[in-house]
C-alpha cells in the first residue's frame, strides 16, 4: 500500500516528528497535505529538525536521506513523506 494511503504509517510518522523535534502539538492537528517546513507550516520545523527527523528515519526504517534537496522534496508534507517511506 502506498504510504499516503496508510493512515497507520502517517500517524506513526507524525508521532516520530513530534517526539524527535520536541513539539507540543496534537498529532491530529497535523494535516496530511500541510507543509512540514517553511513559513506556512504550523509545526515551525527548521533544518536542525530535518536532520533529527532524517536520523530517526534512518534508525527506524533503515532509509538514508543525504541530499538536502531530496530531503526538502520528501518532507514537503506528511503524504510525500509517507510515500517516501512506503512507495508501494
Q: What is the widest separation between alpha-carbon atoms in the chain?
A: 31
| Distance of alpha carbon 41 from alpha carbon 63, whole angstroms | 24
For the stretch 6-45, pLDDT in tens is 999 999 999 999 999 999 999 999 999 999 998 889 898 9
Residue 39 belongs to what domain range?
Answer: 3-85
pTM: 0.91
As for how many domains the chain has, the answer is 1
Helix (H) or strand (E) holding 12: helix 7-20
The CATH number covering residue 71 comes to 1.10.1200.10
Amino acid at each position: 500500500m502506498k504510504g499516503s494511503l496508510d493512515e497507520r504509517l502517517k500517524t506513526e510518522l507524525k508521532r516520530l516528528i513530534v517526539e524527535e523535534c520536541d513539539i507540543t502539538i496534537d498529532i491530529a492537528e497535523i494535516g496530511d497535505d500541510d507543509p512540514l517546513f517553511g513559513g506556512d507550516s504550523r509545526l515551525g520545523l527548521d533544518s536542525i529538525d530535518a536532520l533529527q527527523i532524517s536520523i530517526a528515519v534512518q534508525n527506524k526504517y533503515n532509509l538514508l536521506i543525504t541530499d538536502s534537496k531530496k530531503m526538502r522534496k520528501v518532507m514537503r508534507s506528511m503524504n510525500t513523506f509517507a510515500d517516501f517511506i512506503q512507495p508501494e
